[in-house]
Amino acid sequence: MLDMVGIPDARSRVDNYPHEFSGGMRQRVMIAMALSCEPELLIADEPTTALDVTIQAQILELIKKLKQETGTSVILITHDLGVVAGMTDHIIVMYAGKVFEQAPTKELFQCPGNPYTKGLLRSVPDPTSEQGALYQIPGLPPDVAHLPPGCPFAPRCERAEEICTREFPPFVQLTNEHFSLCHFAEEVYAKSCKERDERASVASKGTVMEQSENVLDI
């Protein structure tokens, strides 16, 4: 198993103590231990925490490779949206212990149907735009032991109305595989799809202009 997860000279290192391994190698050993039971499901809870970017990429690539080779399904628990985008097929977004949105990965990133998900995506820095101060969701997460009535996200939500503080939101089906916990899920989803189409239109026009300039240069 240690050979499978890429531990160099695995046979001679099988009796080593944890402090004799690097952080990345300890993570590989944990993955080997988990896979030694031949599980149908591997739950990876923040598998790249405290690892540098290079080692992080290696661990994620290892998980992806082992998934393909063993057929094991993987649940990846993480707060890193970059990891989510590159590793998953389907996403569940949770807040205060509740499922707030679930959808195929591409669908959720392009057309989020929940204000909390939109806030998370807005919080990711965009190196291609000069957006000034970085966006952050206002307020603080609630005490899950003493949740307020209505929607747990309402005190921090830019779309919240009176009903949000009074009634717990429904889990709305937006498409066959896309669901959102929000009183205004359909409105938020429609706006996101419109914004996606506008971005695609701008990108398409930019490509056409670039091609025209290349033709003129010739």
For the stretch 177-188, pLDDT in tens is: 999 999 999 999
Q: At what angle do helices 23-35 and 53-70 cross, to 10 degrees?
A: 20
| Pairwise pLDDT comparison (134 vs 98), residue with the higher score | 98
Report for 59-73, 144-158, 203-217: range of highest mean pLDDT: 144-158
Note the helical H segments in 100-184.
Answer: 105-110, 115-122, 162-166
Contact 179, 103 (CB under 8 A): yes
List the structure tokens of 74.
Answer: 């993987």
**pLDDT of 214:** 56
The pLDDT tens digits for 103-112 are 999 999 999 9
**pLDDT of 217:** 58
Report the chain's mean pLDDT, rounded to a whole number.
88
Contact 42, 75 (CB under 8 A): yes
41-45 and 73-77 as β-strands: parallel, antiparallel, unpaired? parallel
The pLDDT tens digits for 4-32 are 788 888 888 888 888 988 888 888 888 88
**pLDDT of 110:** 95
| Pairwise pLDDT comparison (145 vs 218), residue with the higher score | 145
The pLDDT tens digits for 114-148 are 999 999 999 988 777 766 788 899 999 999 999 98
> Which helix H or strand E contains 186, and what residues bound it?
helix 185-217
Q: How far apart are CA 154 and CA 44, in angstroms?
A: 30
The answer on pLDDT for 100 being more than 70 is yes
